[in-house]
Amino acid sequence: MFDANAFSDEENTEPVKFERGTTQKGALCLWHRGYKFVKRKCICFSCCQKTCQATVRLDDVQHLTGRLGSNKHNHCAVFAQQSADAGRAQIKRAIEVNPQLRPSQMQHKQDGSKGQKQASRKCKPSKSAGNSTRARVQGFVGGLHVRNNESDIDPEDD
């Protein structure tokens, strides 16, 4: 896990500037050259890869400057992950502001096209409300947007 002797080397005394990020749960994480570091102790961070021994110690929490540990990464940097995490955090913030907004409508909302009209649409039962299989169902099943219309249901099911 965390090695206290990793910061005693003279070669790692140069301060490094980190970029602020957030984890999927909203906690603070640090980014440096495509590597993501998650908080392990008060001012100590380690690489998010479980098998990697790379560590970071923050000297200034406000300005996000600190030192890299002596252990090197045993994997390649993933630069696309940082932008994906930033986009995910932006979607979560937008949903907190407007809980009726679905992630599938976020792209429409950001483009300025018909996102608001779709967000206000409610699920309505079909004309034959007595048959529950013919009701219009709209929602998420297993992470996928599912929408059953009356035209999707076979009329011979009566």
Output the tens digit of pLDDT for each of the chain's 158 residues. 445 445 444 456 788 899 888 888 888 889 998 899 999 888 899 998 889 999 999 888 888 889 988 888 888 888 888 888 888 888 888 888 887 776 666 554 444 444 444 444 444 444 444 444 444 444 545 555 555 554 445 555 54
Which structural domain range is residue 135 located in? 122-153
How far apart are alpha carbons 126 and 133 in whole angstroms? 10
Residue 10 lies in a domain: yes
On whether the pTM is more than 0.75, the answer is: no
Residue 106 lies in a domain: no
Residue 113 lies in a domain: no
**Domains: count for the chain:** 2
Establish if 148 belongs to a structural domain: yes
Residue ending a domain, among 44, 59, 77, is 77
* Strand pairing category for 19-22 and 16-17: unpaired
Please identify, among 48, 77, 106, the residue that sits at the C-terminal boundary of a domain. Answer: 77
In a domain, 140, yes or no: yes
Give backbone dihedrals phi and psi of 62, rounded to 5 degrees, phi first.
-65, -45
Residue 6 neighbours by CB under 8 Å, 6+ apart: 55, 69, 70, 71
Q: Is residue 73 part of a domain?
A: yes
Q: What φ, ψ does residue 3 adopt, rounded to 5°?
A: -110, 115
